[in-house]
Structure 1
Amino acid sequence: MRALHIITGLGIGGAEQQLRLLLRHLPVSCDVVTLTNPGAVADGLRADGVHVTDLGMKGNRDLAALPRLARLIRRGGYDLVHTHLYRACVYGRIAARLAGVRATLATEHSLGRAEIEGRPLTPSTRALYLRTERLGSATVAVSATVAGRLRDWGVPAARIHLVPNGIDAELFRYDAGRRRATRELLGIPADAFVVGGVGRLVPGKRFDVLVRAVAALPGARLLLAGDGPERGALTALAQRLGASDRVLLLGECEEGRPGAGPGVPALLSAMDTFVSASREESFGLAVVEALAAGLPVLYAACPAVEDLPADRSAGATRFSGDAGELTAALRPRMRAGPHRTAPPPAVGHYDIRRSSEHLMDVYERTLSGLRTS
């Protein structure tokens, strides 16, 4: 089987890194096309031996990209096309149909109640999504919550397949030596209380809530791993609150990149509590990674936790997303000092190997259905 994965961009982000991790475990010959922005994840995929093509799209309405993509699909002789993220799903499904590939899947990574990929959902966005969804064979939802949202939109339940995101839990296992080394590298005292967050610095992630909460806790430190358009605003906020020396904005953190600092696994070992204040999530990958590191977690929205029985996510506590409430929740944790636990059952449930097996089942059912139709 030969599969082509089409994604909107390959900068560092949850969907992009999930694709790279998944391809390491799929027993299928896969190539990747990025419509634009062949960033750090493209470099990582190439290092893994995956052929990556940058289509060089100029914008959302660069219709000239459509025949180029169709020709690329036709020349590749692919059995299946798998698309990721909104723009790639729209263009990829149409191009696959033009190229004569009937087996087309799309993974829905970022569908919220009111947003998709951090942008407001509009009637026209929804209409285009549903029209092109009918061109595909199936839609993969990364959580039960997303599957429910797709059904509410009108996507037939028979076309929706649940394949949760996955992690390689061993990468995130807590390591005391890595904790010491990372804190030394970042100039953080061994006994400092460190709050952490991971993700794109965009409004929906509400990292300003973390800055405000930590600023109200003298002596506490904040580590934020990620980059994005809110970086300047978060820096200015920390300065206004007199906490700029205690807030570290680390930018994109991917281990193995030349000149890069600590990766996310090392940073999780250096933290004492993890916080996700996102307004909404389609899965909540960073929360699962933090649980794999044995960290106590405070979250505002996380389908990965909420879709499972409560006893499977011990260590994860929900809060409203209010900065004052977060400060109050962090204060006793700061007094109690460092605390690690064994990863809860949810971590094993979201093992990337299970996810790849589930996806292969979808691939095989899709191709089998076409052969018998």
Structure 2
Amino acid sequence: MKALHIITGLGVGGAEQQLRLLLAHLPVDCDVVTLTNPGAVADGLIDDGVRVVHLGMTGNRDLAALPRLVKLIRAGGYDLVHTHLYRACVYGRIAARLAGVKAVVATEHSLGDSQMEGRRLSTGVRALYLASERLGRATVAVSPTVADRLQRWGVPGPRIEIVPNGIDVARFRFDPLLRERTRRRLGLPEGAYVVGGVGRLTAGKRFDVLIRALAELPREYWLLLVGGGAEESVLRRAAHDAGVTDRVLFTGERPGGGLPGADLPSLTAAMDVLCSPCAEEAFGLAVVEAMAAGLPVLYVSCPAVEDLPPSAARGARRVQGGADSFVRALLRVRAEGAGPRSVPDAAHHYCITRSAAQLMDVYTAAVSCTSLGVSSS
């Protein structure tokens, strides 16, 4: 089987890094097209031996990109096209069908209750999404929560497949020597209690909540923010206004997800607790990676945890409220003391090899339906 993955961009982000990790475990010959922004993850894919093509799309309404994409798909002789993220799903599904590829699969990585990829869920966004969705064979939801949202949006239930995001559990396994080396490299003082936040620095991630909480915590508490984004300057200003600039560390973008050459596992090893204040997660990849590192986790929204029995995610606690709630929860977690950095069942449940095997079942069914002439509607 030969597959083409089409994604909106390849900067550092959860969907982008998930794609790279999946390609390392899929028994399929895969190429990748990025519509725009061939960033750090594109470089990583090329290092992995994956062919990456930058389409050079200039914006959402760059319709000239469509015939270029159709031509590329036709020339590639692909059995299946797999699209990722909103713009790529719309353009990619249309282009695939125009190029004669009927086995089209899309993954919905980031649908929230009120937004998608930071985009407000307007009537127009929903109508365009649903119109293009009918051109595919299946839409993959990364969690049962996202599957429910898709159905409420109007995607027929039989067209939805659930394939959760996956992680390389072994690469996040806690290493005390790595922890000490990383904390020294970051310049953390002896006895610092490190609160971690991982993700794009966007308003929707609500990392400002953690900065406000830090201002109410003792001085031995530090905040380590792993990620880059448009809100970094806003967060730096918030730290300054709160008087905690000297206790907030910004690492910038870190291509990671447990992939070779990444330092995200070392940064999670340096943390004492991970906090996820985002109110509308589609999965919660940072939370699962933190659990694989044996960290206690405080989260506002995390379908990856909420879709499993409570016993599977020991050490993960939901926080309801804002900065004050995180202050109380962080004080409580620290008072309980650091336990062994063991890996809960939830992290093993989301092993990347399991996710890749589930996705292969979706691929096989999509290609089989095509060969049998089954309608996609």
Q: TM-score range by the shorter chain?
A: over 0.9
The aligned counterpart of 1:365 is 365
The aligned counterpart of 2:307 is 307
* Amino acid of the structure 1 residue aligned with 2:34: T
Distance 1:333 1:313 in 2: 15
TM-score by length of 1: 0.97
**CA drift at 1:255:** 5.9
Mapping of residues 169-188 of structure 1, within 5 Å: 169-188=169-188
Distance 1:332 1:129 in 2: 44
- Bigger mean CA offset, 147-156 vs 81-90: 147-156
Say whether the 8 Å CA contact 1:284–1:303 is kept in structure 2: yes
**CA drift at 1:214:** 1.4
The aligned counterpart of 2:118 is 118
Identity of aligned residues (%): 62
**CA drift at 1:336:** 4.7
Distance 1:89 1:117 in 2: 13
**CA drift at 1:341:** 3.5
The aligned counterpart of 1:88 is 88
Q: Deviations over 1:237-295 (max 9, x none)?
A: 11111110000011112369xxx9x7211011000010000021000000000000000
Say whether the 8 Å CA contact 2:7–2:88 is kept in structure 1: yes
Distance 2:129 2:96 in 1: 16
* Amino acid of the structure 2 residue aligned with 1:138: A
- Bigger mean CA offset, 213-222 vs 75-84: 213-222
Confirm or deny that 1:61 pairs with 2:61: yes
* Amino acid of the structure 1 residue aligned with 2:130: L
Distance 2:335 2:318 in 1: 20
Say whether the 8 Å CA contact 2:174–2:341 is kept in structure 1: no
Confirm or deny that 1:162 pairs with 2:162: yes
Mapping of residues 187-336 of structure 1, within 5 Å: 187-217=187-217, 218-254=219-255, 263-336=263-336
Confirm or deny that 1:143 pairs with 2:143: yes
**CA drift at 1:337:** 4.6
Q: Deviations over 1:55-92 (max 9, x none)?
A: 00010000000000000000000000000000000000
Q: 1:105 is paired with a residue of what secondary structure?
A: strand
Mapping of residues 340-351 of structure 1, within 5 Å: 340-351=340-351
**CA drift at 1:335:** 4.2
The aligned counterpart of 2:52 is 52
**CA drift at 1:184:** 0.4
Count of matched residue pairs: 369
Structure 2: any 5+ residue segments left out of the alignment?
A: none
Say whether the 8 Å CA contact 1:180–1:190 is kept in structure 2: no
What is the root-mean-square deviation of aligned Cα atoms in Å?
A: 1.3
The aligned counterpart of 1:34 is 34
Q: Deviations over 1:104-134 (max 9, x none)?
A: 0100001011000111110000000000000
* Amino acid of the structure 2 residue aligned with 1:235: R
Structure 1: any 5+ residue segments left out of the alignment?
A: none
Distance 2:3 2:358 in 1: 16
* Amino acid of the structure 2 residue aligned with 1:88: A
* Amino acid of the structure 2 residue aligned with 1:139: T
Q: 1:67 is paired with a residue of what secondary structure?
A: helix
**CA drift at 1:333:** 3.0
Q: 2:110 is paired with a residue of what secondary structure?
A: coil
* Amino acid of the structure 2 residue aligned with 1:364: T
**CA drift at 1:304:** 0.2
Q: Deviations over 1:158-205 (max 9, x none)?
A: 111110000001111111001000010011023211100100000110
* Amino acid of the structure 2 residue aligned with 1:153: W
Q: Deviations over 1:325-361 (max 9, x none)?
A: 1001112333455334411111111000000000000
* Amino acid of the structure 2 residue aligned with 1:29: D
Distance 2:343 2:336 in 1: 20
Distance 2:43 2:171 in 1: 20
Distance 1:87 1:272 in 2: 37
Distance 2:115 2:36 in 1: 21
Q: Deviations over 1:188-245 (max 9, x none)?
A: 0232111001000001100001111112112210000001111111111111111100
The aligned counterpart of 2:79 is 79
* Amino acid of the structure 2 residue aligned with 1:253: R
Q: 1:298 is paired with a residue of what secondary structure?
A: strand
Say whether the 8 Å CA contact 2:17–2:255 is kept in structure 1: no
Say whether the 8 Å CA contact 2:41–2:255 is kept in structure 1: no
Say whether the 8 Å CA contact 1:105–1:138 is kept in structure 2: yes
* Amino acid of the structure 2 residue aligned with 1:81: V
Distance 1:180 1:63 in 2: 52
